[in-house]
A = this chain, B = another copy of it.
């Protein structure tokens, strides 16, 4: 193998552990100096490659690189940017090739979800198309847990833990208050299409009947009357009701429940989003119960302070595996998590072809959703439970976590800015 540089970038919505994957990539690349020279990191994902904005990872201290393992967000910047098919716009691909050639990049690691694996797949075809030796490895990441083939996706375990812990804590709060005050609490979590994150709310339970009492998934059309009956019965029995709702829950006609067309706020602007307030208002107006609601949004996916140790370990291992695959001469593949046992939980690293991963979303299977559609099954719990196991606390200073900041020193540009 000829020694060459590697490109790495972070793409799509970031997570509490995507930097742990970066840490795995960078530390493992450093172990293979015979074949991998520098790792040049795209500032803000693939956009950094297109703009020749490359960060020289070798300029970061070993301490900073190690600190990535406990730092949330995307330390090199991420992007929402999808390459068009080659036939539609070959210029982008030509530019990528120019940048790779100019910086002697022959390894390409792209760290993201379904769209990002599509990008990695397209770039892998580019190398073959023009006869430029480029090894493309996709590295999985997404809180949505919706990549196919891999048993789970790094980032999900930590958001699942956040949702389970938050649900458990908020449930204790409302239980304390319900005798004379709030009766219904609604927590909105991410998941535009797949309900994995909302499902994780069920991990808050110690035993059957514990909160959350209702889980609303995007896979199940929202039925208002059945939902209200369930809330009423729960309050009658327990004194309070905790609901975890996916942002992506829809009516049978496909419309998002959170989309409230007629809403205008105090400034006269259309009200955007938030299914939790809509569900909470519905409950109060129809049943009269006082409600509280929360929208976790970015807090859930950036909550490194409550990350799952299992998730951190897998995120790191997948970054490490990606480099090992490249060094082994592989291309157009993505390392995966293969579960070999539920309890005790055992897993190993596998691999999948990018062509089988790109643009495919994995939803909650029917066997994971209870018959009435308001809960998950024991099978789903068995799948989810090990993913939140273990705590992996960051270091603290002055009462807040000590997260690393990188120097992000750019490599000198060699190409014209315009292309």
Contact = CB atoms under 8 A, between A and B. Distances in A.
13 contacts: A13-B177, A77-B179, A80-B181, A161-B400, A164-B399, A173-B302, A203-B398, A203-B400, A260-B266, A262-B265, A271-B281, A294-B299, A306-B306
Interface residues of A, number: 93
A277 B268 contact: no
B305 A306 contact: yes
A245 interface: no
Contact of A181 (B10, B79, B263): B79
Interface string A29-47: 0000000000000011101
A284 interface: yes
A129 interface: no
B263 A265 contact: yes
A179 B403 contact: no
Contact of A265 (B72, B169, B260, B393): B260
Contacts of A74: 176-177
A349 interface: no
Interface string A265-307: 1111111111011101110110000001111111101111110
Given A10-B176, A168-B400, A388-B400, 11 more contacts: A45-B180, A73-B172, A80-B181, A170-B298, A172-B403, A185-B298, A203-B399, A257-B266, A260-B264, A296-B299, A393-B393
A101 to B, nearest CB: 24
B294 A269 contact: no
Interface centre among A203, A273, A305, A391 (most CB of B within 10 A): A305
A47 B232 CA distance: 24
Contact of A176 (B78, B260, B270, B393): B78
Given A277-B272, A277-B274, A298-B185, A177 B14 contact: yes
B385 A389 contact: no
A204 interface: yes
Given A264-B262, A267-B282, A281-B272, A14 B173 contact: yes
Contacts of A336: none
Contacts of A255: 266
A148 to B, nearest CB: 25
B401 A168 contact: yes
